[in-house]
Structure 1
Amino acid sequence: MRHLILLVPFALAACATTGSGGGGMTIETVSRGEQITGASCAVSTNAGTWNVVTPATVEGVTPNGNLRVVCNKPGYRTSEVIQGPSNPLGSSVGLGVGGGGGNVGVGVGLNFPIRVGGGNYPSRVTVELNPL
């Protein structure tokens, strides 16, 4: 019993992650393997829309629905990237409480989901622009 109590905090710490939500996300555009600068891009989630010119870093993008990046530049076709957040379901943690005397034990088990964060978006999004 004493060992079980000591292991619970480690099990909880191992399963709970905050993800990379809220960190900076780099948006870049390329064409035929070469970086293209100066493309206008709209970065959007269910939480809002950010308008940037590449290369750019967008701060404060927290996972909320699909990430959509639409970029355009004169001389190129408009291109779009849609990315869902990874690990949207969170983690499950099983906790057990046991007790008893001698060789007889009684246990009660609990299992409940813990949702921490909403998943992660990639820290770098590259949009391929094709010439007209």
Structure 2
Amino acid sequence: MSRLMNLIPDIKTVVQIALLALAIPAASSFAASANLEAGKKLAQPCQACHGADGNATQPIYPKLAGQYADYLARALTEYRDGNRVNPIMAAFVEKLSDQDIKDLAAYYSAMPGQLDDLDGRMKPE
């Protein structure tokens, strides 16, 4: 039994590598089908709330720069399709095509972000 327990870290490593290998082609195919210049043009109205560089200065507006492209695309799609309800966002995204959403998501994800997390700020119990 202890021999099997010793193998668990190795199995976890193999699984993590396999998952990473599966994720890389998906991320690169998303980026390959997006047009950053088109995204930049589409992002002009977004600047009023989310900032010219995608890093909103008001805490009520999310920072878009540096976010994962697939997350941004999903959020925009959900706003457009009514699965996320926000009247302000709905008005901006209602006429976006799937390609427009990919372009916007890729544009913002490629920008340097000022995202913050709790890394190093959580005190262990």
TM-score (norm 2): 0.26
Higher strand share: 1
Name the larger-Rg structure.
Answer: 1
**Greater share of helix:** 2
- With normalisation by structure 1, the TM-score equals 0.25
